[in-house]
Chains A and B, each alone.
Chain A
Amino acid sequence: MIELAGVTKRYGPNTVVDGVSLTIPGGGVTALIGPNGAGKSTLLSMIGRLLPMDGGEIRVDGLDVSRTASDVLARKLSILRQENQVAVRLTVRELVEFGRFPYSRGRLTAEDRTRVEEAIDFLELAEFAARPLNRLSGGQRQRAFIAMVLCQDTDYVLLDEPLNNLDMRHASQTMGLIRRFATELNKTIVIVLHDVNFASYHADRVVAMKDGEIVADGAPGEIITAPWMAEIFDLEVPVHAYADRPVAAYFAIG
């Protein structure tokens, strides 16, 4: 369970995240949606202790993220940010091996190696395993990072817009994989999504943010509606139903 109480972040006079309280029970996919600058990524970074808070408290399975030792948290929760640059030259396998760092501190055991190969297979990366990251396409690289997170084998996985820069096929495949993380491997996923329609089809719960606050919270069917979209994004969007799920037809307007 992830518990947020009064979480606040300020940059100078601007309050980016304003006293957010939220409880995310274990299991399932929770999507964070909202306009640019709503504070979604900032909130996610604070849960993943990449960014210090200016107020409030965050607990993951009862562990206070700002006080618990980083290596203990690294076996409990993993976070993948939007811009994934690595500063040094790494092959796909070397990157995925870093996912085992919280367990083996760089000295891989036989079990670690098995996990690494499993993750590489799960993400269908076997043929690129020996290739340096900078010689992969955007989609392949994104999958390599997801493989690293999978290898880290944490109960909680935080993903910040993992579908960015992916084409239709890779975006849908990646989202499908993330869904399988939750369903087959029983992980708790919190994911920031730009496209509400991915949230509609793959999330169990949708939390909408605007101006640093949570404005709506519920099942996809309750949130992806024309009135809520107008409220959250300041945009009149027709919402249709397709295959029992709401689809916001935002690409048809303007």
Chain B
Amino acid sequence: MLVDRWRTALTASGRPVTVLVLLGILLAMVTALFMTYDLKGSLDFALELRGRKVGGMLLVGFAVAYSSVLLHTITNNRILTPSLMGFDALFVLIQTAAAFFFGTLAFLSLDVRLRFGIEVGIMLAFAAVLYRLLFGGENRDLFLLVLAGIITGTVFTSLTALIMRVLDPNEFMTLQDLLFANFSTVNRELLLVSAAAVVAIVVATRPLLAQLDAVAIGREHAINLGVNHQAVVRRCLAAIAVLVSVSTALVGPVAFLGLLVSNMAYQLTGTFRHRYTPAAAGMIAAIALIGGQFLLQELFASVVRLSVIISFIGGIYFILLLLREAGR
């Protein structure tokens, strides 16, 4: 009886489970390679340093992947990403504005937890405004959504650029270090705070996963099936705000990574079910980040930034996706 049930469960979900297991093995291999390759000098020091990097990349990978999957589901569109909607541009703007008004010294000497808390608070407020504007009314036009996102993103980026121009050069240098996607230095305390935030989000969104499957087939179907659509969308936007804060605070904006890994996850697992897609997308992201960072460090002697390569590949993939959608 139990064996039968296991068997039907396995055949019904065979492919996604296989994909998850394979991704898990691959991730473990890449991580082991990254941690142990060419260890020199003090073992403790090297392992601690590399461990911190791996931890950062795991967190960033999962945060970017999960936030993209959530946004895809609540907008019923697989091309939008939080990055496209201006989420990470806002986070950068918050940091830049803080540096401008209070100085980087005051900003950086603030307790990490407090600083991160304030940043997340502002991000959540933005998510609430976005919800009002985009999901509050009855005319939820997707094109409007995309346009509004691109425009808000551009506004945030332009404001950031403006503030940077009037910033004191020394402050500017410090800020640059803080903002640009950089996987080789990860602040230890920030790592802990981020890990706590990600765990909290996973715990808080776990009960939503089944409902998200219904949301994925469309708003009206979801309501008909008894999902409190508004509440689910609101919670997802809040989760996205926190996840984007985590990834941007740790390494800066990584455009297109979310788009790339979430769509790869849908294709590899062959399903939209949220039991599988966030985990798959998160592992693909972590493999790409850790593997990519390893290759860059060891083979290309860190002459290129990983985020540049990701943006390059992701950008091409984005265009391909657009062309495929247009061809339908």
B227 lies within 8 A of chain A by Cβ? yes
Q: Which residues of B contact A48 (CB under 8 A)?
A: 223-224
Is A88 in contact with B227, judged by CB distance below 8 angstroms?
A: no
Does A85 make an interface contact (CB < 8 A)?
yes
Query: Which A residues lie within 8 Å of B224 (CB)?
Result: 48, 50, 74, 78-80, 152
Q: Which of A49, A90, A101 has the most CB of B within 10 A?
A: A101
The answer, among B210, B211, B223, for a CB contact under 8 Å with A49, is B223
Across the interface, B228 reaches (CB within 8 A) one of A69, A102, A106, namely A69
Asked if residues A86 and B221 are in contact (CB atoms below 8 Å), the reply is: yes
> Taking the complex as formed, is B317 at the interface, i.e. its CB lies under 8 A from any CB of chain A?
no
B217 within 8 A of A: yes
Q: Who on chain A is nearest to B214 by CB?
A: A101
Question: Is residue B220 within 8 Å, beta carbon to beta carbon, of the partner chain?
Answer: yes
B289 at the interface (CB under 8 A from A): no
Interface bracket on B: 20 to 34
**A contact set with B: CB distance below 8 Å:** 48-52, 69-75, 78-81, 85-90, 95, 98-99, 101-102, 105-107, 152
CB contacts under 8 Å to A, within B252-273, are 272
A89 x B223 contact (CB < 8 A):
no
Q: A-B pairs with the 3 shortest C-beta distances?
A: A74-B226, A71-B226, A87-B76
Q: Is the CB of A75 within 8 A of B213?
A: no
**Contact in complex: B226, A85 (CB < 8 Å):** no
Question: How far does the alpha carbon of A89 sit from the alpha carbon of B213 in the complex, in Å?
Answer: 12
- Judge if B292 is at the interface, Cβ distance under 8 Å: no
Q: Flag whether B216 is at the interface (Cβ < 8 A).
A: yes
Assembled-state Cα–Cα distance A71/B214 (Å): 12
Residues of B within 8 A of A72 (CB): 226
A-B contact pairs, 6 of them (CB 8 A): A69-B228, A71-B228, A86-B221, A87-B217, A95-B217, A102-B225
Which residues of chain B have C-beta atoms less than 8 A from A69's C-beta?
Answer: 226, 228
- Residue B24 lies at the interface, judged by CB distance under 8 Å to chain A: no
